A and B are shown apart, each in its own frame.
Chain A
Amino acid sequence: MKRREFIKNIGLVTGAGIATFSIAGIPVKAFARPFMNVQGTNGKILVIIQFKGGNDGLNTVIPLDQYSLYQTNRPTLAIPQSSIVSLTAATGLHSSLQPLKALFDSGKMTLVQNVGYPNQNRSHFRSTDIWLSASDYNQTLYNGWIGRYLPKAFPEYPSLPPLYPMAIQLGSVQSLLFENQQYGGLAISFQSPNSFYQLVQGSSVDNDPPPATLAGDELKFLKEVANQSIQYASIVRDTSSKGNHTSNYPANNTLAQQFNIIANLILGGLQTPVYLVTLDGFDTHADQQNAARHPKLLSDFAGAVTAFQTDLQDHNLADKVVVMTFSEFGRRVKENVSKGTDHGAALPIFVIGNNVQGGIIGQNAQLASNKLDGNGDIQFSYDFRQVYATMLKDHFGMTDTQLNQILLKQFSTLPLLKSSPTDVTDYNAIPDDYTLMQNYPNPFNPSTTIKYALPQSTEVRLKVYDMLGKNVATLVDSYQSAGSHTVQFNANGLASGTYFYALETRSQKIVKKMVLVK
């Protein structure tokens, strides 16, 4: 290796910004625009808020129809009836959630009551892992449900990763949510796009293979993370600086500041489909109603999502985005001796966005002692994985088969979202976006069929490249009409191996891989 190349590899090239690097021999800079199709995300975005510590669902969504029973169980913690924000005659919100009423009244917020799972685990950590991995209570998974979803949305990963991050976590410690058994963590984490860029600037990618030992596994992991940060720091900074939020995000509210960053990224055009933010402090064993504790957390949540929703609406982006909350468990119905609540079971979750149906799914938590579980906790009516199934299918457009593969068993969806995605497999109609289908047969010898579709009439080139990025065939180079097209590729005269075929137009470049086996 030449000295100059090595210096680049170990991260000392300065002044060059993000260095060019290669994936399977093809310089990434060749793909100057996001080239991944959006079939697997449906062009949608999901923002997940984790309420860390176990949110007291009963002081969040209050059963007005059982107020006296609620008050008996919560002599010091019950929210006075007069300050409860009523949504319906039977159901109200904690007074700190006042801003959410407008969202609810305009049909932009859906509450799902009593979400949980059978045999509730009351350990923070185990139950958090259950929610993040979408496992059964007695099953341990080392990967997250979003980590299993993302490779289905980006089927070319990792050979052709998208030019934008598949997922973003605001924070510094990668969540299990994004872990994939095969590929490791699929999200990038940072706290501010600018400082992220500045830190990464000047580093470049390292492809030296590690030894096959346990220690070597750790080295491989370190390289992967370093490479991810190099790959995405620049696009994150650039899109963030393009985004220009207009909404007024409340001060003294860290969640709102995080939503402000996410809004800038979405407004700037980043196509990342999943974001995770965390609000910590819900483990309220004592002095729960202290203004700095549960009320402050709820008020931060309400202020942040309200500002975010306004921002998206102002920029006509609110149809793309859904916000959902979760927490590892709700809390005990009966308060403890320290004016707090211990670990409980089911709890309500919030789903917010233009595309939600609005209203309340399910009935209020049932507080009568014969309706509680043996521990005195609220029983679940909906499995949390039904909510996930709904997001995957009705928001991201996953098929039933993909849904079962991601959630590992079958879950029915809930009537949460207004519109289901259009059928993306109907290629005879004029599509919404440029589409390049996987060739068939694949692998092939010597000929194969490639289909693609155009949303509008345009100049089109369909080219074939070898592993070194050399153009070995040009199948189409003409002005074509909108709609779907088919070409045959005959590989006579080419050697066995992996090839790439690229659909290039003035504004788009989509690349897929095919394998010739002679």
Chain B
Amino acid sequence: MSTLNYLKKISVWDADAARHILSRSLFGFTKDDVTFALTKTLDDFVDNYLLKDQPLPSSPTYNGTSWTTLPDNTTNQTNYTNWQYSLIYWWYNLMLNQGYSFREKMVLFLHNNFTSQYATVRIPQLMYIQNQLFRQNVFGNFKDLTKKVTIDPAMLIYLNGEQNSKGAPNENYARELMELFTLGIGNYTEDDIHNSARALTGWRVDRTNLTSSFIPNLFDNTNKTFLGKTGNWTYSDIVDIIFDSRDASNNPIAARFICNKLYKEFAYYQPNVDYINQLADVFVANNYNLKPVLSSMLKSQYFHSVDIRGARIKPPVEFLLSLMKQFGIPNVNNDILGYIRSQAGALQQILFDPPDVRGWQGQRKWISTITYPTRNAFTDNNINGYKISAATTLKVDILQYARSYSSSEDAIAFINDVTKQLIQFPISEMRKDELLSTLLDGAAVYDWNTYDSAAPARLQTFFKSLMRLPEFQLS
């Protein structure tokens, strides 16, 4: 039986394809970004721009002071709320200024896979260290990263690894490692949880040096049977055994589980099992390195099909930040980032604080009868102008933005260009007609120009309408 090759590369590299890739891999993009992508070949753009290894960014500061290496003590704890905010803003800035790199979206993916909540960990320095660990390994070996995460200080605190000792082990990390991080439910037994919890004993967090360390006499130094294999396993052995584990038909369980998550995050939230299995084969063939998998996915025909394009509900942070990028808001200062953080909270996505150990479920869970109108209020505010502080008002210069389109003086062409740029969902002709009547507000189409005194008000109404559309929530 021949199987469809889901990973076959797209044959047409055009503006639609470029916008789709940019919308799924960045936190917003401009017309110029589309133009730039099309000056490269698909392979060149994906492999040498989106997936290029980048140097690590320098650490965040608060009021000009670097805090990420300072010990956890009662003096420093008084600053933690401020430090944690500065950490969130630091990450927002990386997302906004990422260039053509897929990195920050993948870091967020890893944060949502290997979850830790600041509300539980309570040490910003450790949240920062974990975040940089993700960034360091973002396109690298997922199995190695799993080992590093297992003894990461924030994770040891979050899932009680640091309270796990021989005798009466704490099962918290062992269960979530398998259920949520690597294998998925149903691929292990309760005994596997008890026994791997024993292998994970002995790790403690040094809150002065912000490191983790192994204390041999807390370790259960005896044989354990895990996923059918018996030995005096350590945490590293447990991860190896997890990644070696195969189902009854000898298929790689962890690879499929992780590729399913990648698919869910970047393609569509309901799995296409055949496509995912083919991605998993690439993952295994490349010894669990992420880069080849991401490269195959972004270039594949199925990823670019009409079912997938425009089918993803924008996550809150992406929804909020992409507006800053799309409209070219100058000087996105901490006042604006603070406003974005508060809106992200209302929309249910505070970075470093997923709702629980499973992370954000995404897609339809982002939308409720309260979050949808909150999104509309945010887009309205950007157009109307929203005074955040005495010094800062967030407002799109709508006239300038409209004139950045070469078609700005031709109403019909303008609507075509704007909807293509701002909305990834294939918008109906009827919608365009409706938007046109909104823009013209009773005027004749040949009378439209942006130099008319009524143009700014009409443009404001038009852009507010456009961003309230359900189509605008999709990417």
- Contact status A337-B370, CB under 8 Å: no
- The smallest C-beta distance from A75 to any residue of chain B, in angstroms, reads 10
Mask: chain A, 201-245; 1 = CB below 8 Å from B; 0 = not:
001001010010111011101110110110011000000000000
From B163, B310, B348, A338 is in contact (CB under 8 Å) with B163
CB of A9 within 8 Å of the partner chain: yes
Cα–Cα distance between A294 and B113 once the two chains are bound (Å): 27
Mask: chain A, 330-355; 1 = CB below 8 Å from B; 0 = not:
00001111101011000000000000
- The smallest C-beta distance from B464 to any residue of chain A, in angstroms, reads 6
Mask: chain B, 439-471; 1 = CB below 8 Å from A; 0 = not:
011100000000000000000010011001111
CB of B250 within 8 Å of the partner chain: no
Which A186-211 residues have C-beta < 8 A from chain B? 188-191, 196, 199-200, 203, 206, 208, 211
- The smallest C-beta distance from A176 to any residue of chain B, in angstroms, reads 10
- The smallest C-beta distance from B462 to any residue of chain A, in angstroms, reads 10
- The smallest C-beta distance from B320 to any residue of chain A, in angstroms, reads 15
Which A358-417 residues have C-beta < 8 A from chain B? 375
**Segment of A84-92, A120-128, A494-502, A509-517 in the binding face:** A120-128
- Residues on A with C-beta less than 8 A from B268 are 214
CB of A285 within 8 Å of the partner chain: yes
- Residues on B with C-beta less than 8 A from A52 are 356
- The smallest C-beta distance from A217 to any residue of chain B, in angstroms, reads 8
Mask: chain B, 294-314; 1 = CB below 8 Å from A; 0 = not:
000000000000111111110
- Residues on A with C-beta less than 8 A from B441 are 3
- Contact status A200-B373, CB under 8 Å: yes
Which B34-68 residues have C-beta < 8 A from chain A? none
CB of B233 within 8 Å of the partner chain: no
**Segment of B87-95, B131-139, B237-245, B422-430 in the binding face:** B422-430
From A122, A222, A280, A285, B170 is in contact (CB under 8 Å) with A285
- Contact status B434-A6, CB under 8 Å: yes
- Contact status A221-B168, CB under 8 Å: no
From B270, B312, B428, B461, A208 is in contact (CB under 8 Å) with B428
- Contact status B307-A172, CB under 8 Å: no
- The smallest C-beta distance from B361 to any residue of chain A, in angstroms, reads 8
CB of A10 within 8 Å of the partner chain: yes
Known contacts A214-B311, A340-B160; A228 and B175 CB within 8 A of each other: no
Cα–Cα distance between A335 and B160 once the two chains are bound (Å): 14
From B159, B372, B442, A225 is in contact (CB under 8 Å) with B372
CB of A251 within 8 Å of the partner chain: no
- Contact status A343-B470, CB under 8 Å: no
- Residues on A with C-beta less than 8 A from B367 are 221-222, 225
CB of B75 within 8 Å of the partner chain: no
Q: Which residue of B lies closest to A196 (CB)?
A: B370
From B310, B372, B376, B428, A215 is in contact (CB under 8 Å) with B310
- The smallest C-beta distance from A372 to any residue of chain B, in angstroms, reads 13
- Residues on B with C-beta less than 8 A from A357 are none
Q: Which residue of B lies closest to A373 (CB)?
A: B190
CB of A12 within 8 Å of the partner chain: yes
Cα–Cα distance between A215 and B357 once the two chains are bound (Å): 28
Which A170-190 residues have C-beta < 8 A from chain B? 171-174, 185, 188-190
CB of B355 within 8 Å of the partner chain: yes
- Residues on A with C-beta less than 8 A from B221 are none
- Contact status A206-B368, CB under 8 Å: no
- Contact status B311-A343, CB under 8 Å: no
- Residues on B with C-beta less than 8 A from A160 are none
Q: Which residue of A lies closest to B313 (CB)?
A: A218
- Residues on A with C-beta less than 8 A from B364 are 174, 218, 221
- The smallest C-beta distance from A105 to any residue of chain B, in angstroms, reads 36
- Residues on B with C-beta less than 8 A from A219 are 425, 470-471, 474
- Contact status B474-A189, CB under 8 Å: no
Which one of B164, B426, B469 has the greatest number of beta carbons of chain A within 10 Å? B469
- The smallest C-beta distance from B315 to any residue of chain A, in angstroms, reads 13
Cα–Cα distance between A342 and B363 once the two chains are bound (Å): 31
Which one of B163, B307, B358 has the greatest number of beta carbons of chain A within 10 Å? B163
- Contact status A222-B372, CB under 8 Å: yes
- Contact status A342-B346, CB under 8 Å: no
- Contact status B170-A211, CB under 8 Å: no
CB of B335 within 8 Å of the partner chain: no
- Residues on A with C-beta less than 8 A from B175 are 122-123, 343
- Residues on A with C-beta less than 8 A from B433 are 1
Q: Which residue of B lies closest to A184 (CB)?
A: B364
- Residues on B with C-beta less than 8 A from A336 are 168-171
- Residues on A with C-beta less than 8 A from B160 are 285-286, 338, 340
Known contacts A6-B438, A215-B307; A190 and B370 CB within 8 A of each other: yes
Known: A125-B185, A189-B370, A213-B307. 18 other contacts (CB 8 A): A1-B437, A3-B437, A11-B376, A12-B461, A125-B180, A174-B364, A189-B368, A200-B369, A208-B430, A215-B308, A222-B474, A225-B367, A225-B369, A233-B369, A285-B170, A286-B160, A337-B167, A337-B169
Mark B residues whose CB is within 8 Å of A: 159-160, 163-165, 167-172, 175, 179-180, 185, 190, 193, 268, 270, 306-313, 346-348, 355-358, 361, 363-365, 367-374, 376-377, 425-426, 428, 430-431, 433-434, 437-438, 440-442, 461, 464-465, 468-471, 473-474
Sampled A-B contacts (10; CB under 8 Å): A3-B440, A7-B465, A122-B175, A172-B347, A173-B365, A203-B376, A211-B426, A218-B313, A221-B364, A342-B170
Mark A residues whose CB is within 8 Å of B: 1, 3, 6-7, 9-12, 52-53, 121-126, 171-174, 185, 188-191, 196, 199-200, 203, 206, 208, 211, 213-215, 217-219, 221-223, 225-226, 228-229, 232-233, 280, 283, 285-286, 334-338, 340, 342-343, 375
